[in-house]
Chain A
Amino acid sequence: MPPGVAAKLRAAAAALAFAAVPAAAGEFEISGSAAGEARVFPSDPRFDGQFSHVQASLILSPELGYRSGDDRRQVKIAPFLRLDGQDSERTHADLREGYWRSVQDQWDVLIGVNTVFWGVTESRHLINVINQVDQVENSDQEDFLGQPMINLGSQRDWGRVDFFVLPGFRERSFPGRDGRLRAGLPVDEGAARHESDLGEANVDAALRYSHYIGDWDLGTYFFHGTGREPRLVANAAGTRLEPRYDTINQAGLDVQYTLEAWLWKLEAIAREGQGKTFAAAVGGFEYTFFQAFGSNADLGLLAEYQYDGRDDAAPITAADNDVFAGARLALNDFQDTTALLGTVVDVENQSTALFIEAERRLGDRWKLELESRWFFNAGKTDPLAAIADDDFIQLRISYFF
């Protein structure tokens, strides 16, 4: 948005707020981004119906925000739209955020749709439980569908408590029959079944406590409701996979210990309701060489171990006994150039995923992002087997307004 328009909007907001309450003026802000993206799959598809090679997308994610002059009330609306040239299931719109928030001295309340990210590790985002994963966006579990909620929070000297009431279950999105990066059979989202009789109307709940003490940051929570992670069950004809959403209890823990240039991280969960009660964890470190090699660049080295104790009655995971190693480079230049290179190797069968994510600003309002994922050594029974031919290179150019 040109600065002049922003100024006018602010002036209008100020006038409106002044008319209503003779206090400090509130402020509107319109921001967001529009992007074009191209994914190239060098290998031919493995399954019937999948497209070959190039997948182009347009992405629009505007944000409209209002905050009152005293900062105590906030409204935010952040829709999301992707138009995909290949996979109609990947063309989708969502409301990532759409809420009203009020902040009092010791209490704050948020009503509406929001995205909540917890956790500290890099190779797996194990403890996030509030939002459904937007699986058609990416396989890295960093994109989420907006979750309707009432979030009551309280900040005290002894930490922060958040209570979530979560009405309106969001079912996971999956690539369509045309799409790459899918299981051998396409997922029939319409055939989803829930353990709860209320289905998508089931109301879930979570309680979280988080705090920091010296060099330690920690959080813990308990969740009861329909688990976000479905089991995928083949139909009788063996032509489709049908999602099964189970009722679960889950406790989670996240810890980070920050000691000089070391970050020690742990995420762990225990889950009841999908097969035998099981625990899962991911933990490791990030060590940063600041101003590495006498330059302005920072070089971080990362290593994490992934454990998951679930049995065959639970949803399949690739992260059951795997080691992650990675390197993060931040050039600290005008363009904030950064790159993250990583690999995850299964300790038992050596199936390997390799990825690189890099980004650089162009001018003041554009950003170029590169992402590439490669899969090796995936044996026939490995969860990676279905996507073994789906190595890809992706370029995205975004304009920010």
Chain B
Amino acid sequence: MKWDEFFVTGEPMIYGAMASIVLVTIAIIVGLTYFKKWGYLWREWLTTVDHKRIGVMYIISALIMLFRGGVDAMLMRAQTAVPENKLLDAQHYNEIFTTHGLIMILFMAMPFIIGIMNVVVPLQIGARDVAFPRLNAISFWLFFTGAMLLNLSFVIGGSPDAGWSAYFPLASLEFSPTVGNNYYSLALQISGIGTLLTGINFIVTILKMRAPGMKLMRMPMFTWSSLITSVIIAFAFPVLTVALALMMFDRIFGSQFFTMSNGGMDMLWANLFWVWGHPEVYIVILPAFGIYSEIIATFSKKNLYGYTSMVVSMVVISLLSFLVWAHHFYTMGQGAMVNGFFSITTMAISVPTGVKIFNWLFTMRKGKITFTTPMLYSLAFIPIFTIGGVTGVMLAMASADYQYHNTMFLVAHFHYVLIPGTVFAVIAGFHYWFPKVFGFKLNERLGKHAFWWIAISFNVTFFPLFFLGLQGMTRRMYTYSAETGFGPLNLISFAGALGLAFGFIILVYNIYYSIRYSPRETDGDPWDARTLEWATSSPIPAYNFAVTPNVKGRDALWSAKHDNQPIFDGKIEPIHLPSNSGKPVILGGVFFVFGFALVFSWWIPAIISGIAILIVLASMSFDRDHGITVSVEEIMETEKKLRGETL
């Protein structure tokens, strides 16, 4: 292989990206050395098994990926803003929409959700940590490895270019000869293993680690949504694992599962992909529903309306999510009967989803609504997501889908679902739980500015796409002629995208501004909230709760505050915590080498690093680690420091 094939060449933007990667890397290394932070970074973050810190690392990675995916989106909107634009060529555009989809779904939405789950779930159920803390660290490092591997493809070897769904035979070696789709199969595989482990970890955590009295039907709604999501992960991700493995065999080892000859079947890939892909949508949206349930209840000063029907509707959604995958390809020619079946199952999902919408609305009825930043995002979610929902029902009708499929109408629909559904939720959750983790709120004034920019610009960006779709503009078109008449609406959409970008810049500036100027909280409960995570101090001590909480009903903290039911009625005892470990991050590094070597079919390094993976795993199994014990005196001292008083 020649060096000019190894590195991607010939594009000024890519040289810019290379230069900035090198500069940022140098800046990080120099900065860490100058401030003598290497030890701190290693001890406190890279080797941590603390669920809160792992959660924070997930969220930081997700924010960075949000900007990578966002730049892709801006380039796409800029390219299509005017007819016959020459900003990007077809190949570059294809790579960008592929990575935009992959990054936003797998390396932004999922890790953001999982990050919030990591921070919040153990606190909400009154646990000290997740069930398997070290496994949790492995999950994070595998996700991070996958994300870095995929991002590296941009400058080394070339990005995947067959769409985020990588339909065969387009993604086969014959039609996509670069290593781009090798990156696809390996980066997704590695981070997918991490996600699968997270799913298992959280199922066990929620089922086994709840504080005394925290019955299943007393759990906060976010924890319920996390439990159901984890179950979906455990059932859906193995399908992706198999599909990606077959893809890897096809591309790297010359097998013929999905190719055009020797009995290969391209439709098999589409089925496997969407059997995972549709539940994946619910993996990112159910926890978002959980976040909204917490926030709307808190800022309406009311308990969640219809708790039981909320739980039941999520269970129904999770079951139906496995029965709808063929609606992604009604046009594949499976006939009216099959399409009719999948139309009905798909539309059926709108019933439990509608139940949730009405429950949120009735939570606000007779409430006392305050318009904080997290609440604004939650309020914007309801009307915008409803548009996404009803257009989803329209798309579910197989016959009508023959006209919507692959068009901008579809693109508008899923952005109307995923942005208010997931992105607004994680931003709302970010603002809501930020003071819990860091001990100070994000600035409300800047937060609201960012909100209005984002909410309005979102509609300006995506509403025109419904009409472009009905006018016949298909997705993934890198250019169009002026006669098509697609120009004006695309230009409006680009203007909206600029507004969205500006909103996100304010959001990031707000983080910087608040770190510097925001007043520090003295109380662990700045929002007058209802659930257990607000019962401990902010920032949260490593052991979460000095005394194991004793839960007597739903909204445990609210009852404690208003009905005089103490949560902490035990006495302080020594606490056992897991000790840090460097092995998860080392495992991630070895997986990176393994994946990278396989991408380029460098067999010797691949075999060596493959063996190294087994060695690291084996050495973990033989670790005799009894963890650390925090003494009563230490706990007393920490609590005094955090609360400014003794218990």
Q: Do A and B bind each other?
A: no
Interface positions of A (Cβ within 8 A of B): none
